[in-house]
């Protein structure tokens, strides 16, 4: 997760160095960004599902982790939910990545 985030940030700095080969990165950058986003989302999807399954269990006492609080609030609003809906999952993954980036 962190290596993909660092690689994503490395590819965002364009034009910061006077290297003529940087202009070739323009064509590769979208593919690198898509791959890094896929890796981060794949990891976060598994973690979200794991946290969701533990929050659903009665033995889990949710702490003050951001994801536990968000999933607990979602379950309080939707008590009949069986799985995490894709829009909520995408929004949660975006907020988690932002939270990790801001804390770095």
Spans of all domains in the chain: 2-103
Orientation angle between helical segments 2-12 and 25-56, nearest 10 degrees: 150
- How far is residue 46 CA from its own chain's centroid? 10
Closest C-alpha to 74, from 65, 60, 85, 64 = 85
Local confidence band at 42 (pLDDT 50, 70, 90 cut-offs): very high
Query: Which residue's entry shows tokens 């980036």?
Result: 101
Q: Is the pTM of this model over 0.75?
A: no
More confident residue, 42 or 80: 42
Contact 89, 45 (CB under 8 A): yes
pLDDT of residue 39: 92
Model confidence at 47: pLDDT above 70: yes
């Amino acid at each position: 997760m962190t290596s993909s985030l660092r690689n994503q940030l490395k590819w965002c700095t364009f034009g910061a160095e006077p290297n003529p080969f940087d202009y070739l990165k323009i064509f590769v950058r979208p593919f690198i960004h898509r791959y890094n986003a896929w890796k981060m989302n794949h990891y976060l999807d598994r973690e979200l599902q794991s946290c969701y399954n533990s929050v659903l269990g009665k033995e889990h006492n949710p702490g003050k982790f951001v994801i536990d609080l968000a999933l607990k609030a979602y379950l309080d609003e939707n008590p009949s939910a069986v799985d995490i809906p894709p829009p909520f999952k995408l929004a949660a993954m975006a907020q988690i990545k932002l939270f990790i980036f801001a804390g770095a």
